[in-house]
Amino acid sequence: MLYNSALTESFGPQYGRKKLDIFDYNLTIISGEFWGNPLIYLTIPIRSTNIGNMIPRLIEKVVKSALLGSGKIVLLLGARQVGKTTILNNLASSLQDQNQTMIYLNCDLEEDRRRLDTTSLTILRDLVKNFDFLLVDEAQRLTNSGLTLKIIHDQLPKTKVLATGSSSLNLKNKLSDPLTGRYLDFTLYPFSLVETSGKQNLDYFLPSVMNFGLYPEIYLDQNPAAKATKLIKIIDSYLFKDILEFQKVRQPQILKDLTKALAYQIGSEVNENELASRLKIDRKTVINYFDLLEKTFVIVRVFPFSQNPRREIGRKYKIYFVDLGIRNALIGDFNVPTIRADIGKLWENFLVIERLKKIANAGEIINVNFWRSYGGAEIDYLERKPMEKLPRAFEFKFGQGKMSKGARSFEEKYNIKPQLVNQENFSDFIS
């Protein structure tokens, strides 16, 4: 029988296991504990095929609503291989069911790119005149995507446009001036844990997620060794592809070395000068590479919250990896999470990114920060909606720890009581 068990793949044979066939299911009993609880994991047999088609993406409804009702160009941005094309295909199928007409162009293909890569109104009119929707995949490959889409939006308004891009650096730079006020953009992350597992028993899947991440291709593979191999191939083949291809980075190995150095510093404040010295490059280059990595969806930066710059650190920021599988592949560590020295940082990275996925999948705009004073008091995560003056505060603990002195300091200063997020209640935080 095929296992879809994150636990049995992450916990070694020392945990011992046996299988009991119960009707059409497999019951895997693991004689060990995960965070203090005995493990019983129910897995569906192999005939539940084509898992990918059974995992709906939560952001899809938000994107469709914007496409149908906003009157604006809709951009769906995200790393390569996270499912943008699948969403395009799903939306195309849904629109066809509603008797809508559309044209789909994949700009990775030269033939498709040539059809759209123009600023001629005549050519564009002939291209879209019979279609209600224009769906453009990998739009960053167009020579002048901003002006092309602006012409369609302004001159051919009956055709609604949805475009995807694997690099916000290239696509949004090209769109920012021509399409000011004309587009809405959304970010598609790798699977969220809630998307793959629902809202029940999320802790059963945590070891695998914290080890191998949630890239769709990786999640759907049942073999741990194959997962690790595929993650390494992602890094070698296309993780840096858009940066190297479009930005003409002169020192690609330095970029990779910097990314690996960052993988050891997740959840910690980054010292740009220290990294520059270690890699023998100038600080300006470090900052530029950070920007490239963030805009190609490898990392996210979280900046400090401060209302009193003299008492709180306001310059340094933290870095998290969009996918923990990529991070672990960079440092070559796929050991069981609970025995790793970096488990606290893994936990923090996991919670921050899953929360960001939740925000993105709901189409919300929320400011995210951390807080740290010069006295060393710290809060892991703050979030504030645009119209709110003060944030909500959260402290992350792996285990049964109590609130820190930093949390009490924050509460005394701002009259905001931080909420503790641990393995017992994290599902409420990410779902």
pLDDT, average across residues 116-139 = 96
pLDDT at 79 over 70: yes
3-state DSSP assignment of residue 407 = helix
Nearest Cα to Cα of residue 419 among 389, 385, 374, 383: 383
Domains of the chain: 6-48 (no CATH), 54-187 (3.40.50.300), 200-430 (1.10.10.10)
Neighbours of 15 (CB within 10 A): 16
- CA dist 227 and 4 (Å) reads 13
pLDDT digits (tens, 9 = 90+) for 2-30: 333 333 333 333 333 333 222 232 333 33
Per residue in 23-60, pLDDT tens?
232 333 333 333 333 333 333 332 233 444 468 999 99
C-alpha triplet 215, 28, 341: angle, nearest 5°: 55
pLDDT of residue 170: 60
Instruction: Provide the CA 169 distance to its chain's centre, in angstroms.
Output: 16
| Ranges 8-12, 136-140, 152-156, 360-364: which has the least confidence | 8-12
Average pLDDT over residues 67-89: 94
Please compute the mean of the pLDDT values over residues 382-405 and round it to a whole number.
Answer: 89
Encoded tokens for 129? 């005149």
Reported confidence tier of residue 369, pLDDT bands at 50, 70, 90: very high
State the average pLDDT over residues 400-424. Answer: 90
Q: Which of 120-129, 141-150, 229-238, 239-248 has the highest mean pLDDT?
A: 120-129
Q: Kindly tell me if the per-residue pLDDT of 406 is higher than 80.
A: yes
**Listed residue (348, 346, 234) closest to 302, CA to CA:** 348
How far is the C-alpha of 152 from the C-alpha of 155, rounded, in Å? 5
**Strand segments (E) across 166-243:** 183-187
Does the pLDDT value for residue 168 go beyond 70? Answer: no
Question: Across residues 144-152, what is the average pLDDT?
Answer: 91
Q: Between 169 and 263, whose confidence is greater? A: 263
Instruction: Tell me which of 213-227, 308-322, 412-426 is least confident.
Output: 308-322
d(CA 192, CA 243): 25
* pTM metric for this prediction: 0.84
**Pick from 95-99, 187-191, 397-401, 421-425: least confident:** 397-401
Q: Residue 388: its pLDDT value, please?
A: 87
Rounded mean pLDDT, 134-158: 93
- Predicted local confidence at residue 205, as pLDDT: 87
Q: Please compute the mean of the pLDDT values over residues 294-306 and round it to a whole number.
A: 91
Question: Sheet containing 37-43: which strands, arranged edge to edge?
Answer: 17-22, 25-34, 37-43
Q: What percent of the chain has pLDDT over 70?
A: 82
Q: In this predicted structure, what is the pLDDT of residue 308?
A: 61
Q: What is the pLDDT of residue 411?
A: 93
Q: Please list, in sequence order, all residues whose beta carbon lies within 8 angstroms of the beta carbon of residue 212, skipping any fewer than 6 positions away.
A: 218, 219, 224, 227, 228, 231, 324, 325, 328, 334
Confidence of residue 1 (pLDDT cuts 50, 70, 90): very low
Confidence of residue 239 (pLDDT cuts 50, 70, 90): confident
What average pLDDT does the structure give for the chain?
83
pLDDT at residue 38, rounded to an integer: 36
Residue 73: which of 154, 142, 6, 7 has the closest Cα? Answer: 154
Q: How confident is the model at residue 72 (pLDDT cuts 50, 70, 90)?
A: very high
Q: How far apart are alpha carbons 167 and 77 in whole angstroms?
A: 7
